[in-house]
A and B are shown apart, each in its own frame.
Chain A
Amino acid sequence: MNGTTMTRGYVIIWAWLLLLMTLSLFASTLPVSRAAIVTLMFVVAAVKAVLVALHFMHLKLEQWLIYAIAILPVLLVLGLMVALFPDFVLAR
């Protein structure tokens, strides 16, 4: 992978990140339900985070150990949310 190719790739990812940020801003004005807007925003945020992790943090070039270290805490956080959900939301 030579320097020029890397730079062009990074610029493209940066442009995508800015485009997705703009999409998030306009999503809040869409004439749809609040739940749909919030879902869309978080999907966009997740896509941006994956773009940064894979391309800027070079996760796509890493071995399984680094993937495991990165993904395990994310799963634990999601587990925390799922575990708390019935007590704080469904019990309302």
Chain B
Amino acid sequence: MTTMAHAPTHLSEAASRSKVAIWWFLASEIMLFGGLIASFVISRLGGGAQVDHSQLNVLVAAVNTFILLSSSYTMVEAFACAARGDRRGMRMFLAFTVLGGLAFLGIKAYEYTGEILHGFTPWAGTFWSFYYTMTGLHALHVAIGVIANAALCVGARLGTERPYRVEVAGLYWHFVDIVWIFLFPLVYLS
């Protein structure tokens, strides 16, 4: 990024290495989620894993989609602030991102509770097995992202943050957003 050109050499090198490393990691994540999603799509096209969509809470999932898309925006703003050296702005946008992630997880927990109480457990059928595996794994990734962003937020408070760390955390967070962009129509709308 532009800012890195002005950073000391060791920080610039760390930024480059970190970026390549996180993209390698994301490549393995694409295979993980891609394999699951591909299996689900093939299963549905083959006549399995069917569901009555009235059993799913589409409105709540749409709210969660709005929250995650918005948190992706606040995350990129946090990086923009970090690149400008605006520590206060970075802290604020990171805090919004963390709040967005927590809201997503809270709403997902509410959704799971309702479904389980209605008998739609992970062993209630092929669709529900896929549903809990895919959305549960995604929620786990959201939780990890929340912890990473919260740590960066604390780091910004203590003055130990580095812009490239916000960028790396942001790449991970946006990837989690992209996974949900596909999961939402796949699971709830199609």
**Interface residues, chain A, with chain B CB atoms under 8 Å away:** 1, 3, 6-7, 10-11, 13-14, 17-18, 21, 24-25, 27-28, 37-38, 41-42, 44-45, 48-49, 52-53, 55-58, 61, 65-66, 69-70, 72-74, 76-77, 80-81, 84-85, 88-89, 92
Map CB proximity to A onto B67-80 as digits: 1 under 8 Å, 0 otherwise. 00110110111001
| Distance (whole angstroms) from the CB of A81 to the closest CB of chain B | 5
Task: Return chain A residues, CB-CB under 8 Å to B35.
Answer: 77, 80
Give chain B's interface residues, CB within 8 Å of chain A.
1-2, 19-20, 23-24, 26-28, 30-31, 34-35, 37-39, 41-43, 45-47, 58, 62, 65-66, 69-70, 72-73, 75-77, 80-81, 83-84, 86, 170-171, 174-175, 177-178, 181-182, 184-186, 189-190
Partner of B178, one of A11, A24, A49, A89: A49
* Known A10-B77, A41-B189, A41-B190; contact A21-B38, beta-carbon cutoff 8 A: no
- Residue numbers in B under 8 Å from A81 (CB-CB): 38, 41-42
What B residues does A69 contact at CB under 8 A?
Answer: 20, 23-24, 26-27
CA distance A56 to B75 in the complex (A): 9
With A45-B182, A89-B45 in contact, do A21 and B69 touch (Cβ < 8 Å)?
yes
Q: Assuming the A-B contacts A24-B189, A56-B75, are A10 and B181 also in contact, with contact meaning beta carbons closer than 8 angstroms in the complex?
A: no
Given pairs A7-B77, A24-B185, A88-B45, 19 additional interface contacts (CB within 8 A)? A3-B84, A7-B80, A18-B66, A18-B70, A21-B69, A24-B184, A25-B189, A27-B189, A44-B185, A52-B181, A56-B73, A56-B174, A66-B19, A73-B28, A77-B38, A80-B38, A84-B39, A84-B42, A88-B46
Contact residue among B23, B34, B41, B174 (Cβ-Cβ distance under 8 Å from A66): B23
- B interface, over-half SS: helix
Do A58 and B1 touch (CB < 8 A)? yes
* Top 8 A-B pairs, shortest CB-CB distance: A77-B34, A73-B30, A88-B46, A14-B73, A41-B185, A69-B23, A81-B38, A56-B76
Q: Chain A nearest CB: distance from B82 CB in Å?
A: 11
Chain A residues within 8 Å of B20, by CB: 65-66, 69
Q: Which of A10, A24, A48, A84 is B76 in contact with, Cβ under 8 Å?
A: A10
Q: Are B80 and A76 in contact (CB under 8 A)?
A: no
Instruction: List B contacts of A72 (CB < 8 A).
Output: 27
Q: Min CB distance, B175 to chain A, in Å?
A: 8
Q: State whether B34 touches A53 (Cβ < 8 A).
A: no
- Closest-by-CB residue of A relative to B80 is A6
Residues of B within 8 A of A13 (CB): 73
